[in-house]
């Protein structure tokens, strides 16, 4: 039997998280595995979220199609939330609700660029961003970050890489995989660069609720009066609200961009799942303390993670923050995929190979420390030291 497949899709790599999960069955040990691969909050959703989901699940509304751009209540509540967080004035018509932030990225790319165009991304880069661009016939141009500065990129390198086909610069802050929070000054310089060259600055803020504790607000980009002429902000409800299975994310952009994006949204999803949207519109304003407690908890996990690597001679943290530690492994003659596979097989610790975030990062593994509690994190030295490569 023959089947058709587009060469563009055939040439994409298989979904990275699914690839590493295949190693789980090969685990030879008895201790429970520690899954530090896919970034998922290692604690349950708030009881109010569960209660509201149960209560609203049989409302007739949630069974029918909803508004393309998102439930009006959620757009309003989220716009108010953003306005408060950034001391700015975002309106509901500058918000669109998507089925998760990966989809929000695709919406953003399709709304600013066409096949053949390119987008500049700092490396190491989030694999779904590069893969999505390739899927859309666009080119992801990687700009290497400086390992000495927690992989933050140099603005001059972006400027040199701009071509007539460049449509935007896409960053993730706090970053996946490095954890690094992008400082205001760098974001501001990237913003000015984008303005000068008529590019969009896309900022994926999936991990913004888990910024370093000294960060007062994630960034000051919205202080610019016309920020939304240039900035497209992406967000995921998966992490902060612990509902990745409900598939909800958000875009904040100029109202005209949102109106254009609605055409894409209608073709792809018609509307984001309604039940989760209605629940979020009810709970977001009341969960500020809970979100803060979780930010403190993730910070405590990060401290425990740092302690682990103080005791290990050959491993070292290159950067950390948000949900992640990007760690240099000691096996320079092995690929990161090989090291990660052996680590899982022998010790039950599942990580993501650094090479999945760019070929230059094969000497690294990404540990999503947010997934595990402090007791599990504290057991890492023994496991890592027991590994025989």
Ligand X SMILES: Cc1ncc(COP(=O)(O)O)c(C=O)c1O
Site map (CB under 6 A) of ligand X, residues 247-276, x = contact: --x---------------------------
Q: Smallest distance from the beta carbon of 257 to ligand X, in angstroms?
A: 19
Judged by CB under 6 A, the residue of 23, 86, 107, 126 near ligand X is 126
Q: Smallest distance from the beta carbon of 7 to ligand X, in angstroms?
A: 26
Q: Is 176 in the site for ligand X (CB under 6 A)?
A: yes
Q: Find the binding residues for ligand X in span 156-175 (CB under 6 A).
A: 172
Q: Give the C-alpha separation, 304 to 90, whole Å.
A: 37
Q: Which residue stretch of 7-15, 96-104, 154-162, 350-358 sits at the interface with ligand X (rule: CB under 6 A)?
A: 96-104
**For residue 66, which of 269, 369, 331 has the smallest C-alpha distance?**
269
Q: Which residue stretch of 71-79, 94-102, 155-163, 270-278 sits at the interface with ligand X (rule: CB under 6 A)?
A: 94-102
Judged by CB under 6 A, the residue of 37, 88, 94, 102 near ligand X is 102
Q: Find the binding residues for ligand X in span 34-63 (CB under 6 A).
A: 39
CB closer to ligand X, 117 vs 204: 204
Find out whether 195 and 159 touch, Cβ atoms under 8 Å: no
Site size for ligand X, by CB under 6 A?
13
Identify the bridge partners of residue 119 per DSSP, sorted by sequence position: 140, 168
User: How is 321-336 classified by DSSP, letter by letter?
Assistant: ETTEEEEE-S-TTS-H
Q: Which residue stretch of 99-107, 188-196, 269-277, 329-337 sits at the interface with ligand X (rule: CB under 6 A)?
A: 99-107
97 membership: H or E segment, kind and range: strand 95-98
To which residue do tokens 């298989």 refer? Answer: 14
96 membership: H or E segment, kind and range: strand 95-98
HSE value, Cβ hemisphere, 13 Å, CA-based, for 57 = 8
Pairing mode, strands 166-172 and 364-368: unpaired
Q: Smallest distance from the beta carbon of 101 to ligand X, in angstroms?
A: 3
Kindly tell me the burial class for residue 226, based on how many C-beta atoms sit within 10 Å of its own C-beta (0-12, 13-18, 19 or more): exposed
What order do you get walking across the sheet with 139-144 strand by strand? 95-98, 249-252, 231-236, 200-204, 166-172, 118-123, 139-144
CB closer to ligand X, 52 vs 203: 203
Pairing mode, strands 95-98 and 324-328: unpaired
To which residue do tokens 């959620």 refer? Answer: 74
Q: Find the binding residues for ligand X in span 189-248 (CB under 6 A).
A: 204, 206, 236, 238, 244
Q: Smallest distance from the beta carbon of 250 to ligand X, in angstroms?
A: 9
CB closer to ligand X, 172 vs 384: 172
CB closer to ligand X, 207 vs 384: 207
Find out whether 178 and 150 touch, Cβ atoms under 8 Å: yes
CB closer to ligand X, 280 vs 384: 280
Residues that bind ligand X (CB under 6 A): 39, 100-102, 126, 172, 176, 204, 206, 236, 238, 244, 249
């Amino acid at each position: 039997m023959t089947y058709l497949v587009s060469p563009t899709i055939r040439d994409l790599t298989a979904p990275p998280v699914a690839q590493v999960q295949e190693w789980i069955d090969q685990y030879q040990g008895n201790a429970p595995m520690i899954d530090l691969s896919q970034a998922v909050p290692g604690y349950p959703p708030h009881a109010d979220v569960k209660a509201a989901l149960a209560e609203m699940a049989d409302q007739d509304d949630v069974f029918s199609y909803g508004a393309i751009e998102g439930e009006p209540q959620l757009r309003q509540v989220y716009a108010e939330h953003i306005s408060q967080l950034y001391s700015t004035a975002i309106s509901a018509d500058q918000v669109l609700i998507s089925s998760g932030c990966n989809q929000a990225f695709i919406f953003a790319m399709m709304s600013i660029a066409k096949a053949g165009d390119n987008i500049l991304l700092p490396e190491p880069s989030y694999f779904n961003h590069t893969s999505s661009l390739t899927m859309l016939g666009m080119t992801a141009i990687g700009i290497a970050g400086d390992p000495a500065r927690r992989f933050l990129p140099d603005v001059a390198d972006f400027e040199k890489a701009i071509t007539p086909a460049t449509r935007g610069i896409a960053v993730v802050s706090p970053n996946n995989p490095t954890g690094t929070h992008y400082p205001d000054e760098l974001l501001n310089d990237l913003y000015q660069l984008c303005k000068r060259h008529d590019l969009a600055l896309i900022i994926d803020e999936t991990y913004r609720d888990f910024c370093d504790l000294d960060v007062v607000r994630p960034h000051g980009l919205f202080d610019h009066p016309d920020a939304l002429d240039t900035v497209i902000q992406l967000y995921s409800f998966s992490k902060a609200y612990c509902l990745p299975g409900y598939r909800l994310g958000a875009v904040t952009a100029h109202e005209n961009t949102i109106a254009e994006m609605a055409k894409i949204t209608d073709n792809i999803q018609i509307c984001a799942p309604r039940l989760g949207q209605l629940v979020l519109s009810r709970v977001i304003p009341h969960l500020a303390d809970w979100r803060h407690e979780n930010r403190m908890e993730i910070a405590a996990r990060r401290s425990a993670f740092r302690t682990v690597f103080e005791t290990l001679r050959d491993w070292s943290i290159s950067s950390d923050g948000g949900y992640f530690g990007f760690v240099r492994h000691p096996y320079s003659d092995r690929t990161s995929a090989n090291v990660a596979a052996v680590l899982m097989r022998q010790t039950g610790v599942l990580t993501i190979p650094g090479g999945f975030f760019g070929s230059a990062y094969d000497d690294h593994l990404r540990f999503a420390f947010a997934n595990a509690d402090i007791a599990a994190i504290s057991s890492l030295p023994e496991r890592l030291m027991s590994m025989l490569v």
